[in-house]
Amino acid sequence: MDQHVNALTESGVLTADWATTFLAVPRREYLPEVLWEYCVDDDMYHPVDRSVNPQRWLALANGESQVVTQVDDGRPVGPDGLGDIPTSSASMPRIVALMLKHLEAQVGDRVLEIGTGTGWNAALMAQRLGAERVTTIEVDYGVAEQARQALRDAGFGKVRVITGNGSEGYPNEAPYHRVISTAACHTVPYAWVRQCRPGGRIVTPWGSEFKNWALLALDVNEDGTAVGGVVGTADFMRLRDQRLSPWTSPEQWQEDIATTRETSIHPTDVMRRGNVLMAMAAWVPNCQARYRQPLPETGNLSTMYLSDARTGSWARLVAKPESDGPHRVVQGGTRWLFDEVEAAYERWVREGQPGTDEWLITVGKDGQRMELV
């Protein structure tokens, strides 16, 4: 852990005032006895039980990567107890440090955390700010109980661990100086703004249905709005009440009545550029996207899939990595999703290819809006 802290400090991600806190609060002390590790061979998550495989458990616990601590909302759906979808985790130390840096919490501040998880992030803030200054809310009863016990064992029993819907915040202890979420949202809940003091700050992972990818920091104003923008990249599990609609798989697509066309846009033009993803968030609503990297067994094809389960609309763009186009597009349903994506991309180009720092996000009583500035 010491070498990780030193590396984070030297990179500037971990500020000096938080470095001693990270050293005093190691992540491994908040992890459950069973972790979950992804296996590419069967596309499933396998349990790593500390009592059965202590060396692998410690390697995961002390590593620099995210650690999955729950799958399928606590009820593994795969064969022989394997997991399909990760539903709770302990974040990468680098991302935790980045979020705390942008939170700018000071001694004396009262903080609301959305998404307790293992309790490690709450413990870090309790160590620095005081346990009685931290309230954390977790939607999953079992996860909340485990975190509550881990915090007690570590001497942070005064942290308030609430079991409830994080989207609603926790008004009983409001107002807070800071709100930090460890679950991603596509729409920042106004409850967080309402429960944060004017002059306070909200930090949350964020992204549209198109892609979940950004870290957002918003400052709360006297007029009841929160205004800010993207300050980094982060890929977190979503708030449970903002999970995406079921994905319409390609096997369900009616290609016999689909439309085929060509485009010069490559999948990576859209899926791998944060600047473009801001445009997709603003101008292509209610559209999910997935990207398949080129692999030798698929002829090194790069593929982008689009889906809107609400309307049953879908699209697929396939391209070779070395090709400048044209690339083949197939789409069907009542929305021509790729046409919308292409139009948004072309608008982004006409606007001068604005960067992530040129977008302003405002959250108010009337909802969330994005605008170029």
Residues that are catalytic: 91
- Long-range contacts, stretch 199-204, CB < 8 angstroms, 24+ apart: 200/175, 200/176, 201/102, 201/103, 201/104, 201/177, 202/178, 202/226, 202/228, 203/99, 203/102, 203/103, 203/178, 203/179, 203/231, 204/114, 204/179, 204/180
| Cα dist from 267 to 90, 304, 318, 353, whole Å | 31, 6, 8, 17
Parallel, antiparallel, or unpaired for β 196-207 and 302-308? unpaired
Parallel, antiparallel, or unpaired for β 196-207 and 176-181? parallel
Which position has the token pair 């996860």?
A: 143
Structure tokens at 126: 């309790």
Structure tokens at 266: 């490559």
Contact 61, 91 (CB under 8 A): no
DSSP characters for 127-162? HHH-GGGEEEEES-HHHHHHHHHHHHHTT-TTSEEE
Contact 332, 255 (CB under 8 A): yes
Contact 356, 281 (CB under 8 A): no
Which position has the token pair 């409850």?
A: 191
DSSP strands (E only) in the chain: 34-39, 44-49, 67-71, 86-90, 111-114, 134-138, 160-163, 176-181, 196-207, 212-220, 226-233, 259-263, 288-292, 302-308, 313-319, 327-332, 359-364, 367-372
Give the residue from 265, 293, 267, 270 showing the smallest Cα distance to 280. Answer: 270
Cα distance from N-terminal residue to C-terminal residue, the chain: 41
